[in-house]
Amino acid sequence: MLSLALAAFVAGQGQALQMSYPVEPGLRGVTVEWSGHEVPFTLRGDRWLATVGVDLDSRPGDHAVNVTFAYEDGRARVLREPVEVRAGQYPTTELEVEERYVELSPEDQARADSEAAETNAIYDTFTPERYWSEAFAVPVHGAKDGRNFGHRRVFNGQPRAPHSGADLRATTGTPIYAANRGRVVLAKELFFSGNAVFIDHGHGLYTTYLHLSKIDVAVGDMVERDQEIGLAGATGRVTGPHLHWGVRLLDARVDPFSLVRIGAQ
């Protein structure tokens, strides 16, 4: 009989992945080494759960991660777990935007560089507290899906970074709601993103809400799932009003809807 070695965990490029193990007597905790972080699992009912992210540009194929099971008697067991990354199908999109967002002035370039450093420093911060326990909600009421995640983009004929979020239909003034409980870690206007809100949900998970016409929260605020944080708009590098909703999960650029699909955690 043919036996196939099946990866315990499978995820596409740019997808969130939930790792799960059953409870065991005497098991005190589970952690996984993921993207240089030691990610703790959370006990929910009869399972240990952790949510990790596979970056948009992760190499497709077989990977492996170390999972540590720590027992109350001091023993620890390390399991080398296979993770299969499947290639995503991401088309190329050509867009026309204001030229100043493609050929940046030296001042705008300096601003964009400093804002990129600031946002990368946020994403590199691993908050050990996990603020959320419910499923992630879509931040525009009634929206069922988003567009353009992962698309390779050409602005005014020039290739730029892939699109790392989902674009949700929303006219200017549409209320935008926090996808889950967390702390506001950025709430201001950025060069490319326009008016932006970043929420830290803990355990390396961030959601971002861009191009807003109005921001209703401030840095340091704790927000609840489904709390209004601002209004949709068309600020920054856009072709029209919409909500750009992004997820960073342990430094990985992940489709927000893949996080929603994981459901209750």
Positions that interact with Zn ion (CB under 5 A): 167, 244
CB closer to Zn ion out of 32 and 210: 210
- Among residues 41 and 55, whose Cβ is nearest to Zn ion? 55
What tokens does 29 get?
């905790």
Residue showing the smallest CB distance to Zn ion in the complex: 244
Query: What DSSP string runs through 89-131?
Result: ---EEEE---GGGTS--HHHHHHHHHHHHHHHHHHT---SS--
Report in angstroms how near the CB of residue 146 gets to Zn ion at its nearest.
Answer: 9
Pairing relation of β-strands 76-86 and 9-12?
parallel
DSSP string, 14-50: T-EEEEEEE--TTEEEEEEEETTEEEEPEEETTEEEE
Both tokens of 92, joined, read 């190329």
| Of 167 and 200, CB closest to Zn ion | 167
Assign residue 90 a region: left if phi > 0, alpha if psi is -120 to 50, beta otherwise?
beta
**256: which DSSP letter?**
H
In whole angstroms, the minimum distance from the beta carbon of 212 to Zn ion comes to 12
| Minimal distance, residue 165 CB to Zn ion, in Å | 5
Which of residues 115 and 167 has its CB atom nearest to Zn ion in the complex?
A: 167
Is the Cβ–Cβ distance between 77 and 27 less than 8 Å?
no
Separation CA 128–CA 173 (nearest Å):
35
Shortest spacing between CB 21 and Zn ion, in angstroms: 35
Q: Which is nearer to Zn ion, 181 or 237 (CB)?
A: 237
Which amino acid belongs to residue 90?
Answer: Y
Helix, strand, coil percentages for the chain (3-state, nearest 5): 10, 45, 45
CB of 135 to Zn ion, least distance (A): 23
Of 70 and 154, which has the nearer Cβ to Zn ion? 154
| Phi, psi dihedral angles at 246 (to 5 degrees) | -120, 155
Minimum CB distance to Zn ion, residue 263 (Å): 24
Nearer to Zn ion, 12 or 165 (CB): 165
User: Minimal distance in Å, beta carbon 32 to Zn ion?
Assistant: 30
